[in-house]
């Protein structure tokens, strides 16, 4: 098995979050449009959270640390 490049993985998640922001709306209306927008918001949030994580491999476990505190409360 190849070694996991954690930094490259986090970079890919940051790129995915940016791509979701640029994703054009398909030509749909009504409920389908709203569902597409909600899915894009969820995708962005998920990708951005992982992209902002600090990663390490501890005892064979991939550990992602995400600071959810407000910016003014971070050390």
Q: How many domains does the chain divide into?
A: 1
pLDDT for the residue numbered 27: 86
- pTM, whole model, 2 decimals? 0.79
Q: Residue 45: inside a domain, yes or no?
A: yes
Q: Residue 64: inside a domain, yes or no?
A: yes
CB neighbours (10 Å) of residue 18? Answer: 14
| Proportion of the chain in helix, strand, coil states, percent, rounded to 5 | 55, 15, 30
pLDDT for the residue numbered 1: 52
Q: Residue 1: inside a domain, yes or no?
A: no
pLDDT for the residue numbered 2: 65
pLDDT for the residue numbered 25: 84
Q: What residues of the chain score a pLDDT lower than 70?
A: 1-2
Q: Residue 65: inside a domain, yes or no?
A: yes
Structural domain containing residue 37:
6-22+29-73
């Amino acid at each position: 098995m190849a070694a996991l490049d954690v930094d490259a993985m986090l970079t890919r998640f940051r790129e995915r979050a940016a791509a979701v922001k640029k994703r054009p709306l398909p030509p749909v209306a009504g409920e389908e449009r709203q569902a597409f927008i909600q899915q894009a918001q969820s995708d962005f949030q998920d990708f951005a959270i992982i992209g902002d994580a600090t990663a390490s491999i501890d005892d064979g476990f991939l550990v992602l640390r995400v600071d959810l505190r407000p910016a003014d409360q971070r050390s």
